[in-house]
């Protein structure tokens, strides 16, 4: 095996530095260096004696730490120096191992070399993905050839991420869940299609390219023609758009890349146009002037999901785009509207947006508000213009809020627009598309930025004596998530989708059970949203996107009403023909202008389940895989994406696009906070996978758009949470940690320490396989699983545990409960296989010649265990499974990704629940023995042990397990003491149960006098803790529960210490101490 070291570095440089990405030399095990890790020194071979000495010292130090930790755990003591739970601890840098065997992309990785001594993610994750893709393992056509093929279909699409961005931790959760399900179905034998794709992200992509144009050329898009700008966007997409695919591959997503779909592809564009035309022909699309969410910075309408509702507790200053100074919000301005004809009478209204005053057309009060009954039917003077405004009554006005009187601005408020429509009020648009004041405001305000005009309006009110005060006022401010600007509601002529009819069908689908939402509590939100759904504005004032296939017939109006004449067609030729029929004029004399707007990105995304399969063409894929088997996504997309897919899918294809929806929750940090750049707690999956220095994290913050105050807070938070950066954890560890959370219920609280713990689990599996492969030796030939017969009760127990784990995994996959799978796998690998069976079998394997039974059992544990693990940890499972010897005469799968997933039925002959129950008592005895050893500090001695029961025949359960009991309890010989027989003097005693006692030899192994002093010191420390807890009065019920639990634990520990001390004193009386001899 190739061992490569740096020429002569100091000792500390042989370990990886604080960041796995630092350019320091790494120990290499036949692996090509990754692009992220550069070698800065020439490589040469270091002398083996030095390496052996270093390894020996490290091994001895590690053993010492493990002994101390084990003793502390057994005694219930917190190890010295151990940080409290949840605190930030320095992580130990790990050695980076790289795969450097020359391997062309798509070639199979070399698995004939020895495994490196420790798990290294970069070694494990190298080369596998390109081989999987080249072999076609991810294609449904390949799966028809599998021996375990079921003939069933399983299809799913990935929620298409924006082509502009990078995958965040929420995307990683989506991929981890979806890929685990997909891989399980594939191994099960189903024909699996998982469709990859990305979204053109109209607003985001256009903004990125515009910024790039300005930075590189000093140009705005309007200085280019539309066609030239779109060429720039496509150029950017070709250069940068592949990053999403690379990140998905790094996460191990087993997508069928030959079917990759981009929402601006030619085929997808045809589907979008077809959908628009069909909806228009069905009367479900229309053009109208209505209020829309408007971003003045983007100069475009935006969707509801792009509007962030930001609560403000009161006076708050915000820095907004285009404003040189901060703008105040959360203030209520009181304004007097004089009553016409009564010089001393006025109606005072409050507003948080005084710049809207020029658009007021009325003042409204509740009809039953006695304060204003005498003014019903009267008119008021506008405080700025002096024009007469009606005082109207409306039952929607809340009389107990403020003064009970509200101004009505129909052109800039959805609620006021409804009120104005009920009373026949004409709207006045006073804010333009660019956020300046319109000509309707008068010369003194026209052209001013709306927030500059605000100050001028307040000054005018003061001058006229109509300003009545200013006070703090909590409010919710709509903010554009794309630009950070305040959203305005503007009246615009746009295209709208009628949603009522389609929404009723979507609601009925869930109510009838035809569409299943999981978790089911989402049904309430679904039904509420669709019962209150309004029409959907799909026009966007952008250049990048699907241009609306609608044409204005120039100088032509609809008959009778003077409105513009619009026609819709798949092509201009088709539209011209329709226009000719509509107007009665010849096609040649008509002038058509295509709508310059593009469609909302959510419109095209809503077509993804069927457009990605070739719709509107009747393609083989559409026939085979539509409707999709499952839609899995974040719960935040339930209404804006899932709901619209159901509406349009049902309308356009006549079928629900899927029958099952699985929704996961939001990912938060370990403290339960929403991940936010301003908090400095955002976790980039790539940083967790590859590791990153604190300095790099801080530089990323500076590249963002945080102001100086937010930047300082975020940087401080990063220094606190990641003082040494983020350690390299690897893809498998990240996936496993994400799947371990109950993502289908509450929010996922993810911390780096959890992922690091999963990396340690990977290392445990790695070491287990190294042990197993060594135990198998050369020339090992596995038996067929159905012929394997355990040769000892311990062998039978581990095989039963393995079969039970397979049963739990199968049940959980069917229920799509991934946390149950991770728990079952973690328990088997760590607690059943590594902690128990491998330790118990070591003495057996030391016999010469090797017994034949344990190696066969070890092989089955590795083979079945890795196949159970493969959907969640695909890279590690493949790396290790490939090194197992194949079963003779079997049609062995070329990859674990297409190997059969273990089933309950295939392993049921190994199940022995009664045996597992018996062995659980053995494990309890092991814990008692270890606790006794820790109490009496028997670090090296192997004392003899006796078990005694008051129930005849009860000890027979232990007879088959006496040897593993001794091994696991770190004891000498274990014997059985008949009932009624007195135990030897000088032996420690501990109860195993109400009927079973454990005796451990102490005489000659312990110095009672010296040990009594240690016990006394320990007792004083525990008593001090107990006294402190007794004196403390907790503030809440949860704290009281924890206090009581800790009290019980301390009292039990003190009782054990008192018992041990009593026994040691008896031992002193029975024999003199070594010092007295």
- Distance between CA atoms of 101 and 37, rounded to whole angstroms? 16
- Distance between CA atoms of 701 and 224, rounded to whole angstroms? 33
- pLDDT of res. 682: 75
- pLDDT of res. 363: 97
Q: Which of 458, 446, 468, 297 is nearest to 384 (CA)?
A: 458
Q: For residue 167, give both structure tokens.
A: 């995958």
**Backbone φ and ψ of 200, nearest 5°:** -70, -15
Cα 271-276-282 angle, rounded to 5 deg? 120
**What single string gives the DSSP state of each residue in 83-99?**
PPTT---PPPP---EEE
Place of tokens 């001090």: 1024
Place of tokens 């194949």: 886
- Distance between CA atoms of 98 and 919, rounded to whole angstroms? 42
pTM of the model: 0.84
C-beta separation of 895 from 132 below 8 A: yes
Residue 596: HSE in the Cβ half-sphere, 13 Å Cα cutoff:
8
Contacts of 756 (CB under 8 A, 6+ apart): 91, 727, 729, 733
Across the chain, which has 1077 residues, the per-10-residue mean pLDDT values are 32 30 34 33 31 45 49 36 37 83 95 92 97 97 92 96 86 96 97 96 90 88 92 91 90 97 96 98 96 94 89 92 90 96 94 96 97 95 96 96 94 95 96 96 96 96 96 94 91 96 97 96 95 94 97 77 86 96 92 96 97 97 97 93 97 98 86 68 87 90 73 86 91 96 76 93 97 92 88 95 98 96 98 96 85 92 98 98 86 93 95 94 94 87 93 87 94 91 87 92 83 87 89 78 87 86 77 49
- Distance between CA atoms of 903 and 188, rounded to whole angstroms? 9
**What single string gives the DSSP state of each residue in 155-184?**
EEE----BTTS---HHHHHHHHHHHHHHHH
Q: Which of 95, 68, 135 is nearest to 4 (CA)?
A: 95
- pLDDT of res. 126: 96
- Distance between CA atoms of 603 and 644, rounded to whole angstroms? 8
C-beta separation of 294 from 433 below 8 A: yes
C-beta separation of 868 from 997 below 8 A: no
Cα 581-583-585 angle, rounded to 5 deg? 80
- Distance between CA atoms of 221 and 207, rounded to whole angstroms? 10
- pLDDT of res. 557: 67
- Distance between CA atoms of 329 and 681, rounded to whole angstroms? 27
Convert the pLDDT of each residue in 1006-1051 to its tens digit: 888 888 888 888 889 999 998 888 888 777 777 888 888 888 888 9
Q: Which of 694, 759, 697, 695 is nearest to 728 (CA)?
A: 759
What is the crossing angle of helices 793-815 and 853-869, to 10°? 10
- Distance between CA atoms of 1012 and 996, rounded to whole angstroms? 27
- pLDDT of res. 677: 60
- Distance between CA atoms of 631 and 495, rounded to whole angstroms? 28
Q: For residue 1016, give both structure tokens.
A: 């006394």
Q: Which of 266, 908, 95 is nearest to 614 (CA)?
A: 266
- Distance between CA atoms of 741 and 749, rounded to whole angstroms? 8
Neighbouring-strand partners of residue 631: 661
Prior bond to 909 cis, omega within 30?
no
Does an H or E element contain 1017, and which? helix 1008-1031
- Distance between CA atoms of 968 and 831, rounded to whole angstroms? 12
């Amino acid at each position: 095996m190739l061992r490569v070291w740096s020429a002569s570095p100091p000792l500390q440089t042989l370990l990886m530095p604080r960041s796995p990405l630092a350019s320091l030399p790494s120990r290499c095990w036949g692996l090509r260096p990754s692009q992220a890790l550069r070698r800065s020194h020439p490589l040469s071979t270091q002398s083996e004696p030095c390496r052996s000495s270093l390894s020996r010292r490290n091994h001895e130090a590690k053993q010492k730490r493990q002994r101390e930790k084990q003793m502390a755990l057994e005694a219930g003591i917190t190890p010295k120096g151990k940080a409290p739970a949840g605190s930030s601890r320095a992580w130990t840098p790990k050695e980076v191992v790289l795969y450097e065997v020359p391997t062309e992309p798509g070639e199979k990785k070399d698995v004939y070399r020895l495994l490196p001594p420790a798990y290294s993610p970069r070694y494990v994750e190298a080369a596998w993905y390109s081989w999987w893709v080249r072999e076609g393992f991810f294609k449904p056509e390949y799966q028809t050839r599998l021996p375990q093929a079921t003939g069933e279909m399983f299809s799913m699409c990935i929620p298409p991420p924006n082509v502009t961005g990078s995958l965040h931790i929420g995307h990683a959760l989506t991929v981890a869940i979806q890929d685990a399900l997909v891989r399980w179905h594939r191994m099960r034998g189903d024909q699996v299609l998982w469709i990859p794709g990305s979204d053109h992200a109209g607003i985001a992509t256009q903004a990125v390219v515009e910024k790039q144009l300005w930075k590189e050329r000093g140009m705005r898009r309007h200085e280019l023609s539309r066609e030239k700008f779109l060429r720039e966007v496509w150029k950017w997409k070709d250069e940068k758009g592949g990053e999403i695919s690379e990140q998905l591959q790094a996460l191990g997503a087993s997508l069928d890349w030959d079917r990759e779909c981009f929402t601006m592809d030619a085929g997808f564009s045809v589907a979008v146009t077809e959908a628009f035309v069909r909806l228009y022909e069905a009367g479900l699309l229309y053009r109208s002037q209505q209020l829309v969410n408007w971003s003045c910075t983007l100069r475009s309408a935006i969707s509801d999901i792009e509007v962030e509702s930001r609560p403000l507790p009161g006076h708050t200053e915000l820095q907004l785009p285009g404003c040189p100074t901060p703008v105040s919000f959360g203030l209520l301005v009181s304004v007097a509207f004089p009553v016409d004809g009564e010089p001393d009478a006025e109606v005072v209204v409050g507003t948080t947006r005084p710049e809207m005053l020029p658009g007021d057309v009325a003042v409204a009060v509740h009809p039953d508000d006695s304060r204003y009954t005498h003014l019903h039917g009267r008119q008021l003077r506008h405080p700025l213009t002096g024009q007469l405004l009606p005082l109207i009554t409306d039952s929607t006005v809340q009389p107990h809020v403020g003064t009970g009187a509200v101004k009505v601005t129909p052109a800039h408020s959805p609620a006021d627009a409804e009120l104005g429509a009920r009373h026949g009020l004409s709207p006045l648009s006073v804010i333009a598309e660019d956020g300046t004041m319109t000509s309707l405001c008068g010369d003194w305000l026209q052209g001013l930025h709306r927030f500059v005009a605000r100050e001028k309006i307040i000054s005018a009110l003061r001058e006229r004596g109509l300003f009545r005060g200013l006070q703090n006022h909590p409010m919710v401010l709509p903010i554009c998530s794309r630009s950070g600007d305040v959203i305005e509601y503007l009246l615009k002529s746009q295209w709208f989708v009628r949603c009522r009819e389609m929404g009723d069908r979507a609601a009925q689908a869930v109510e009838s059970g035809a569409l299943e939402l999981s978790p089911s509590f989402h049904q309430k939100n679904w039904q509420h949203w669709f019962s209150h759904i309004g029409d959907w504005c799909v026009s966007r004032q952008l250049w990048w996107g699907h241009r609306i296939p609608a044409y204005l017939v120039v100088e032509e109006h609809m008959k009778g009403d003077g409105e513009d004449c619009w026609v819709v067609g798949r092509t201009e030729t088709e539209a011209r023909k329709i226009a000719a029929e509509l107007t009665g004029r010849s096609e040649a004399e008509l002038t058509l202008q295509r709508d310059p707007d593009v469609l909302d990105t959510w419109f095209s995304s809503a077509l993804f389940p069927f457009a990605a399969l070739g719709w509107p063409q009747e393609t083989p894929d559409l026939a085979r895989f539509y409707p999709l088997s499952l839609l899995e996504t974040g719960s935040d997309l339930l209404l804006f994406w899932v709901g619209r897919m159901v509406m349009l899918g049902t309308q356009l294809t006549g079928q629900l696009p899927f029958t099952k929806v699985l929704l996961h929750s939001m990912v938060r940090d370990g403290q339960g906070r929403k991940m936010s750049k301003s908090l400095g707690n955002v976790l980039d999956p790539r940083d967790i996978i590859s590791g990153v220095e604190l300095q790099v994290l801080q530089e990323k913050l500076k590249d963002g758009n945080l102001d100086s105050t937010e930047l300082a807070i975020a940087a401080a938070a990063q220094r606190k949470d990641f003082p040494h950066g983020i350690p390299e954890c690897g893809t498998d560890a990240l996936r496993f940690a994400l799947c371990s959370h109950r993502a289908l219920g509450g929010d996922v609280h993810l911390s780096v320490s959890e992922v690091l713990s999963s990396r340690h689990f990977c290392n445990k599996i790695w070491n287990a396989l190294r042990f197993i492969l060594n135990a198998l030796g050369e020339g090992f030939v596995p038996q067929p699983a159905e012929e394997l017969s355990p040769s000892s009760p311990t062998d039978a127990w581990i095989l039963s545990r393995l079969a039970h784990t397979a049963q739990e995994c199968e049940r959980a996959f069917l229920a799509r409960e991934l946390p149950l799978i991770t728990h079952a796998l973690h328990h088997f690998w760590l607690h059943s296989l590594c902690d128990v069976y491998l330790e118990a079998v070591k003495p057996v394997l030391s016999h010469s010649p090797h017994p034949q039974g344990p190696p066969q059992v070890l092989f089955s544990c590795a083979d079945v265990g890795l196949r159970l693990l493969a959907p969640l940890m695909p890279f590690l499972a493949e790396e290790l499974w490939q090194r197992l010897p194949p079963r003779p005469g079997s049609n062995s799968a070329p990859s674990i990704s297409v190997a059969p997933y273990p089933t309950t039925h295939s392993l049921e002959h190994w199940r022995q629940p009664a045996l597992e129950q018996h062995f659980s008592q053995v494990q309890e005895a092991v814990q008692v023995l270890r606790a006794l050893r820790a109490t009496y500090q028997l670090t090296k001695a192997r004392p003899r042990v006796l078990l005694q029961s008051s129930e005849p025949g009860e000890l027979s359960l232990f007879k088959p397990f006496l040897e593993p009991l001794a091994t696991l309890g770190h004891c000498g010989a274990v014997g059985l003491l008949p009932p009624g027989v007195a135990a030897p003097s000088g032996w420690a005693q501990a109860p195993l149960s109400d009927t079973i006692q454990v005796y451990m030899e102490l005489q000659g192994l312990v110095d009672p006098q010296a040990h009594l002093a240690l016990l006394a010191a320990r007792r004083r420390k525990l008593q001090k803790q107990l006294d402190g807890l007794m004196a403390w009065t907790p503030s809440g019920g949860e704290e009281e529960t924890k206090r009581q639990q800790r009290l019980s634990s301390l009292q039990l520990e003190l009782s054990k210490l008192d018992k041990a001390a009593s026994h040691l004193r008896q031992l002193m009386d029975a024999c003199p101490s070594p010092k007295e001899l």
